[in-house]
Amino acid sequence: MSLILHQPVTGDRALSSIYLVGTADTKGAELALLYDLLSKEFPDVVRVDLGTRSPAIPMDISAGEVASFHPDGAGEILTTDDRGVAVAAMATAFEHFCKARRELIGGMIGLGGGGGTSMVTAGMRQLAYGVPKVMVSTLASGDTAPYVDVSDIVMFPSVTDIAGLNRLSRVILHNAAHAMLGMVQAPDPALSSDRPAIGLSMFGVTTPAVTAIAQTLEDQFDCLIFHATGTGGRAMERLVEGGVLDGLLDITTTEICDLLFGGVLPAEPDRMDVVARSGIPYVVSVGALDMVNFWKPDSIPGRYEGRNFYHHNPNVTLMRTTEEECAKLGRWIGDKLNACPGPVRLLIPQKGVSALDVEGGAFWDPPADAALFATLEDTVTQTDQRRIITLPFHINDPEFSAAAAEAYLDICPN
């Protein structure tokens, strides 16, 4: 089974196990209820203990066995009095445990508070996309990004603390168990591989362009569109790393703005590095490089006072990039592209890079765009494999979409 994409078990092969995970020293009653609910309807439920003290209920895989998967050995995981050290080390051990058992895990359900959520989800993130993952957590109504990251974990808010069964927690756990059962007992049909898969990056302000490109290519390719919100770009590149995506049309590179200028939807510093490593066909453009994303106005750093802002909705505020910032973006992207052996095609839409960057629009700023385009042209070293294509269109014009699709077809393997 690939780390990246799960192929459901079908035919005469036995269903893989459901792994039920938690700290059996403190969450025994809750784990016992989940086990009872799951095992009544599923033939193989494996109980995994991540606790650091003696378990309150029987478990199939002990915390000591999980701890032995730590790269440095179990060490003091089960003996230290420092809970923070123990939780961090057990999370690492559980990651390696899950990597070693990917083929055996048909689904995973866990429960926990802060420490338990951190440990269980560390392992869940090592499982393939499509493997059912359910986490009942006291943290599920807060910022779940550190736990979900770019995975497909489903977070169930526990509502009450996970500190003994009550009339509400029984209902929550019942629902979570049956959500897991529904997923593992009714897997999606086996994946079709008749078309190569390609990734496309999109934002609301580049939707017409990317939608048109996908419509042009969908007869030949399975088009996976990713929302350019930081996690979207990372998920897209993770699928490249795992060999799921055969090429990219990275039309919307706005996450780089947030990375460089402190926005709330940033790329990681290694954005585009996977293209250099893999050498996949890569069509890239400058979609939404006119904006940095912030939440409500009070989330904007004081150093940006007096800038050009656009209130996208009550919770999202966009800031127009300046000439200086656009030049910095051009150098950053250009340097990344120079590390890519190709085939690469950089498309420059001369009449604007987003729905706001249009004549009369809130972010219409020809000098800023010119700084971006000129810096890219000065920075990118063009070769037979790495080329810049300058187009006299807006990014959302049909002609741009047609040119992008044509560029990809020109460089993708036949």
Check which CATH number belongs to the domain holding 383 and give it: 3.40.50.12030
Q: In the numeric block, which tokens belong to residue 80?
A: 């230290």
Q: Return the bridge partners of 346, or none.
A: 284, 388
Residues 77 and 207 in one domain: no
Residues 302 and 357 in one domain: yes
Report residue 106's pLDDT band, with 50, 70 and 90 as the boundaries: very high
228 and 269 fall within a common domain: yes
Say whether both 203 and 165 belong to one domain.
no
Task: Report if residue 10 sits inside a domain.
Answer: no
Q: Which pLDDT score, from 0 to 100, does residue 362 have?
A: 97
Give the domain-ending residue among 132, 156, 185. Answer: 185
Residues 143 and 257 in one domain: no
Question: In Å, what is the CA distance from 63 to each residue of 23, 25, 347?
Answer: 9, 10, 53
Tell me the residue range of the domain where 96 lies.
Answer: 17-185
Give yes or no: residues 235 and 280 share one domain.
yes
Residues 146 and 112 in one domain: yes
Based on the fold, state whether residues 233 and 174 are members of the same structural domain. Answer: no
pLDDT at 80: 81
Question: What gap in Å lies between CA 65 and CA 46, rounded to an integer?
Answer: 13
| Higher per-residue pLDDT: 192 or 226 | 226
Find the length of the chain: 414
Among 6-15, 139-148, 354-363, which is the least confidently predicted range? 6-15
- Single out the residue in 185, 219, 237 at which a domain terminates: 185
Q: Going by C-beta distance under 8 Å and a sequence separation of 6 or more, which residues neighbour residue 68?
A: 74, 93
> Strand pairing of 17-22 and 105-112?
parallel
Mean pLDDT, the chain, rounded, equals 93
CB environment 300-316: b (16+ within 10 A), e (fewer): beeeeeeebbbebeeeb
Domain termination site, one of 185, 213, 248: 185
Domain check: are 285 and 376 in the same one? yes
Checking if the pLDDT of 14 tops 80, the result is: no
Which helix (H) or strand (E) element contains residue 344?
strand 344-349
Predicted local confidence at residue 388, as pLDDT: 98
pLDDT of the residue at 352: 98
241: its two tokens = 């790393």
Distances (CA, A) of 393 to 119, 209, 402: 50, 11, 11
Residue 64 dihedral angles phi and psi, to the nearest 5°: -65, -40
What is the torsional sign of CA 124, 175, 19, 131? negative
Neighbours of 273 (CB within 10 A): 15
Tell me whether residue 7 is in a domain.
no
Cite the beta strand spans of 241-340 per DSSP E: 247-250, 282-285, 291-294, 309-313, 316-320
- Residue 389: strand, helix, or coil: strand
Asked if residue 79 has pLDDT above 90, the reply is: no
Q: What is the pLDDT of residue 190?
A: 60
**For residues 58 and 373, what is the distance between their CA atoms, to the nearest angstrom?**
64
pLDDT band at 294 (very low <50, low <70, confident <90, very high): very high
| Joined tokens for residue 174 | 């019942």
Least confident segment among 43-52, 188-197, 317-326, 357-366: 188-197
Per-residue pLDDT of 238-262, as tens digits, reads 999 989 999 999 999 999 999 999 9
Predicted pLDDT of residue 8: 46
Residue 336: partners with Cβ closer than 8 Å, 6 or more residues away: 271, 272, 273, 276
Asked whether the predicted pLDDT for residue 159 surpasses 50, the reply is yes
Signed CA dihedral, 110, 115, 117, 123: sign only: negative
d(CA 117, CA 136): 8
Query: What's the whole-number mean pLDDT along residues 273-296?
Result: 97
197 burial via Cβ count (<10 Å: 0-12, 13-18, 19+):
middle
Whether the per-residue pLDDT at 225 is higher than 60: the answer is: yes
- The pLDDT, as a whole number, for residue 191 is 59
Same domain, 129 and 216: no
Residue 156: pLDDT over 60: yes
Q: Above 60 in pLDDT, residue 12?
A: no
Tell whether 53 is covered by a domain.
yes
Considering the domain boundaries, does residue 12 fall inside one? no
Judged against a pLDDT cut of 80, whether residue 10 lies above it is answered with no
Residue 4 maps to a domain: no
Backbone angles phi, psi at 270, to 5 degrees: -90, 15
- When divided into structural domains, the chain yields a total of 2
Is 249 within the bounds of a domain? yes
Tokens representing 220 are: 């030949």
Residues 350 and 241 in one domain: yes
* Contact residues for 189 (Cβ-Cβ < 8 A; gap 6+): 8, 10
**pLDDT(221) > 60:** yes
- Whether the pLDDT of residue 192 is over 70: the answer is no
Average pLDDT over residues 13-34: 88
CA dist 346 and 382 (Å) reads 10
Helix (H, G, I), strand (E, B) or coil at 387: strand
Structural contact between residues 252 and 214, judged by C-beta atoms closer than 8 angstroms: no
Confidence of residue 13 (pLDDT cuts 50, 70, 90): very low
CATH at 42: 3.40.50.12020
What is the reported pLDDT for 342? 83
Distances 381 to 129, 331, 336, 378, 406 between C-alpha atoms, Å: 37, 12, 11, 8, 22
Shared domain for 101 and 225, answered yes or no, is no
Q: Do 398 and 356 form a contact (C-beta atoms < 8 A)?
A: no
The pLDDT, as a whole number, for residue 4 is: 54
